[in-house]
Structure 1
Amino acid sequence: MKKIGFSGTLDPITNGHMWVIGEARSIADDVVVFLSENSTKQPKFSAEQRKDIVLRSCAERGWSNVQVMIVKSDYTARVAKRHGVDYLIRGIRTTADFDYENLIQQTNVDVIGGAKTLFVMPPRDLGSVSSSFVKALEGPVGWNWTMKKFVPPPAYHAWIMSWLRKEWDGLWQYSQASVDVRARADTWFLRITGSDAYGGTDRHYHNLDHLVHGLAEIRTWSANVGPSRHDADLVRAAFWFHDLHYVHGDGPAADGELSNEEHSARLWLGSGLGDGKQAGFSDGVAALIRATDHFQGPAISHPLKETMLSVDLAILGQDEEVYRHYAQGIRHEYSHVPDDTYPVQRGQVLTYLRQKAIAGTLFGDPFFAEQYNALAIANMTWELQQLGQ
C-alpha cells in the first residue's frame, strides 16, 4: 500500500495514537495524519501546535515517512480521498468503539464517497488510553508523573509548559497587570523554564517535573490549609526561584562563593517581580529561598519556612514508582560522582533525613507530615538498602 491516513483531533496525541501510527507505517510506505480543526471544539492546543507536537513525536522515533495535514471544516475521509489516500486506519479499544467507528466508516464510504477504514486493536496496556483520559489526569499532586506514562515526550512537555504558564500568570495576576509587569513576567518565565534553568538537559531532578510537582503540592496545601493569598503567593514565588541557579556541588560554598540558594535568592531580588506586591513580599520570598540551603537555612526565621521546606522534601513521601524515578534522577544529576563514592555520600544524606523522619521532624508543616512521613521512611529505607548502606 502506498499511503494510509490516520485522523483525529489529537489534543494531545497519546501513546495509543502513536501505536496506531506505527501500525500504519508497517502496512504503507507513507502515513498522512489528518488533524481535525473543529470549530465546535475547544482544544487545549491550536491546530498548528498539535501539528508540531505530532511531527516532533514522530521524529523522536525516527519516523520520517509521516506527514501531517490540517483539515478545516471538511470531512476527513473526503479530504483523504482527494489526496490519494484510499484507506484510513483507526484503533478499536472496546465494542462501543467498534459500533461508533463502524457507523462513521459506513458514512464515509456510502454517503460522502471518502476513504475506507481499516481497524486495528491496540495492546492491553494502551487499551484505555485516550486524549480525554489524559486530560482528566491534570491537577492533583503527582498528575504529571502519571501523564508522563501515557503521552510521547513532546506532548508531555507542551502540556506541562501550558500548565506552568497558567500557574505563573495567576501568580502575577497577569490579565490585570500593566504592560511593564507583563513584559517582565514573560521574560522571566522563559528564563526559568528555559534550557539554562529548569528546562536544561542536564537537570535530571531539579527540572520542570520538579517544578510542576512542587507547585501542585503548594496548590493542594493552599486548598486544604487555607492560608492568605499573600502567604500562598510567597511560597509559590519562592518555589519558582529556589533552584533557578543550580550547579552541582557538595558542602557549603567556599569563602566568597555564593551557594545555589543564595544565588537564586539574588536573582529573585533582581527580577523586580515582587515590586508590585505587598510590603515585605520580596524579602520574604528571598528568605524562603535561602531557607532551602541546609547550611544557612537553620539561621533563617520565617513563619512559612517549614511549609517551604516541606514542599521541597515532599518528593520523599511519594508512591514507590515516583520515588524510584526521583532516586534515578538524583543519580543522573550526580553522575560526576564515581560509583564507588556515590553510595556513601548519598547514604549519608538519606540517613540524616531518615533519622529526622523517624523523629517526626522531617516535615515541619503538619499538613505534609501527616501525608508523607511514613512513606518517606519506607522509601528512604528502600534506597539505603539498594545503596548497600
Structure 2
Amino acid sequence: MLRRKVFWERVKPFVGTELIKVITGIRRCGKSVMLELIKEELRDQGVNPGNFISLNFEDLANRQFCTAEALNEHLEKAIVPLEGRVYLFLDEVQEVAEWERCINSLRVKYTVDIYITGSNAKLLSGELATYLAGRYVEIAITPFSFTEFTELYRTLEPELSVADAFQHFIVFGGMPFLHNLQYKAEPSYQYLRDVYNSVILKDIVKRNHIRDVDLLDRIILYVVANAGRPFSATSISRYFKHEGRITAPETILNYLRACEDAFLFHRIHRQDLMGKKILTVYEKYYLSDHGLREAVYGENKRDIGLILENIVCMELLRRGYTLTFGTIHDKEIDFVAERRRERIYIQVAYLLASEETVNREFSPLLKIRDNYPKYVLSMDEFDMSRDGILHRNIRDFLMDQGDVS
C-alpha cells in the first residue's frame, strides 16, 4: 500500500483532536485507502485497533444505517463497551441522510476521533452543515501524482525510465486501482469507463435528480474534449444550437456545477492581471484524472498540449495552490498559482520547437512587472531559460517533492 505522504502530512496535525477529519475527492481516487493508511499510522503509535469502528456506506450490508437515527443507534451500541478514545471511520458518508446530526451528537457525547470520506464537494454545505461549523477540517484527495504513479509502476518494471513512465502516465492517468490491473490497456480502460459511468450516475445524476441524462452526457463530453480551453456556458449553448439542440446557458451552468461537486472537473477562473480582478466569463475546466479522458474520449497523445496542462493543473492543486489563469493585454498565462503569500506564474507547452513558439510562451510572462517567479514548462530536455524566466522540463517539475523551484 503506497503511503501518500503529502496527504498524510495534512491529516497528521489533526489526529487525536476533536476536529472531524473530512476526506473528499472523486470516486475511486484513494479515499478508502487513505482511511486504511490512517489506521496503520495509529496502530504504529500504539492505538488499540479494537477501538476502531469502520463502516462503508456503499456496502449493501450497511444500508440499514443510512439514516441519522439508525446510524446513531448502531454506533452508540458499538462505542459504549469500549474504553478510552474511540476512532470512527465512515466511508462515503453522503449516503446517510442527515449524517451531520449523528456525527455532531457523537462528537459531543463521547470521546471520539472521527474520520469521514465523501465524493461530493457539497458534503459540508447547506443547513445541516451548521451542526459542524468550525468543528471539522477538510482534506481533498486526488488521484496519484506522477511521482506516485512512477513509484508503483516500477514495482512491475523496476528498470522503467522516468521518460517511459511519463508516456504511460499520459494515457493511464493516476487512478490507484490500475496498479492491480498491472496497467494492461483493455482492463484499465474498462475500469476507467466504469468509474466514469459511476461518477455520472451516482454522484451527478442521482444526487442532483437530473432527468435529461443525454444533455448531461453531451455537456461532459464537450468539456472533456476541450479541457484547458477557456469557454463559457453561452458558448456551449451556441455550440449545441448549431447541432439543433436549444439549451439555456443557466441549465448548462447547473450541470457543470454538478460535475464540479462530484470532483469530475475543476473550474479555474480567469484573472485580469492588470486590473487585479477575478472574471467569471470564459473559465477553464480540467479533469480530476486525465486517464478518464483517454478511456471515454481517447486522443490524449494527439491532444498532448491539453493533457500536459491538465497534468500540471492537478499537480498544482495537489501541492495546495489556489489557481486562476491570467490575462494581460491580449496575452494569456496558463496558471497563476498562489499559496500562503507565495505566487508563481506558469506557462505549459509541449515543445519549444521554434523561435515563434518560444516567443509565444515567454512573451506573456515578460509583460508581468512583479518579482514573483515565472516558469515555462515543456518536454524539451535543454534549459531555455531567458530574461529571468525559468524553463524546466515538465517531468522534472512533476518529480519535485512539493515545490516548483
TM-score, structure 2 as length reference: 0.27
Q: Which fold has the larger relative contact order, with Cα–Cα distance below 8 Å and residues 6 or more apart in sequence?
A: 2
